[in-house]
Structure 1
């Protein structure tokens, strides 16, 4: 005869920590904030509602934790690439590589979905949206600006003001595909040839404005 204690011990453990936030994020992405319930998250994670509410006392707090976790996971993704740019002797080649990194990151389905989710709930959660922008977008722009400052000090580029140069480079690389993918979804995805062309043109345009030989 199987005792109730044995049944409890034999049950699969529920999901917690980062894995729980993954499940919650999937729910928010699939159903939006309004369509996601604490019941559905608890059920998908195989935990009790009491356990979920113990860690996240409200759906608002769960949503905030999901967004914060997402930002934290990707917070230093650009750093190896901006560090490499700062010491490059051939900025054109390194900028072209960085352009591809930006496209693969910002235009990836997962990032596009999170941007859409945060934007959709920005009026409800302005502090969450502001934190997302500050610790994700602005953090990466600042890292790129720091690299441009180093290159300018070395005389390899004339990328000053560095923060403006970083913003302009980023938008040259991703603005057109980001706009279309945000508004049209993946109905007409970009192929590698299209993205490579955009990246090539972005680097050419950027260097025409901030390259070493450009007169001020």
Structure 2
């Protein structure tokens, strides 16, 4: 058969997918290395090598290591907060149910994933990078606190929650969740099986305590079952 008569063919699909997948591969590699080594100790060429590309290719997508970290945070943390905001917009149940759903959702989407290591990285290193500190404040801390304050105000307006200081109630909600996440990436693995905290049980106890405190004389909360494989 004369090959000149054959119609031109598109490039193989795997090659197209490979090029389209590069930004995600770079973000995955960066997340792994930032969590393993820290931001300051991670070199751009290490991220490129782990993603299987050249350093020049990395800079085509992310012009600096700072921009790479921002992209990692946006994808793995900030986007999940935006999902929480969308949930609040359309949720039709009680404020108690919504608060429990938001906290569980945070744990499932961030706390028990590799993204939880970003929290430790930010607390440990961001003080040395003022621009990154302002970025994290603007795109993670402020939106997440606004989300939780919105749920608290909803509960007060509906008569479900007693009036509290919304700003400091949010701090009380967030701090224990950050604690268990930080422990997972620090002393937790060294504590031995018998002394390790079960993160899912911890989250359920936190939800129970907060809702009882917010609702005053409310009856005991029925705790949600936690799937052990998801917390392994």
- CA, structure 1 residues 45+190, in 2 after alignment: closer, same or farther (shift >3 Å)? same
Distance 2:72 2:62 in 1: 11
Q: Name the SS of the counterpart of 2:128 in structure 1.
A: coil
Counterpart of 1:88 (choices 87, 90, 93) is: 93
- Residue 139 of structure 1, CA deviation: 0.9
- 2:29 corresponds in structure 1 to 23
1:1-216 correspondence to structure 2 within 5 Å: 13=18, 16-83=22-89, 87-89=92-94, 91-105=95-109, 107-171=111-175, 174=177, 177-178=180-181, 180-181=183-184, 183-187=186-190, 188-190=196-198, 192-208=200-216
Contact 1:159–1:165 at 8 Å: present in 2 too?
no
Count of residue correspondences: 199
Q: Structure 1 residues 175-184 or 73-82, which shifts more?
A: 175-184
* Runs of 4+ with deviation above 6 angstroms: none
Q: Name the SS of the counterpart of 1:122 in structure 2.
A: helix
- 1:6 corresponds in structure 2 to none
TM, length-normalised to structure 2: 0.66
Q: Which ranges in structure 2 are unaligned for 5 or more consecutive residues?
A: 1-10, 191-195, 219-232
Contact 1:145–1:162 at 8 Å: present in 2 too?
yes
RMSD over aligned Cα atoms: 3.4
Distance 1:95 1:57 in 2: 39
Contact 2:27–2:72 at 8 Å: present in 1 too?
yes
TM, length-normalised to structure 1: 0.70
Contact 2:48–2:55 at 8 Å: present in 1 too?
yes
Q: Which ranges in structure 1 are unaligned for 5 or more consecutive residues?
A: 1-8, 212-216
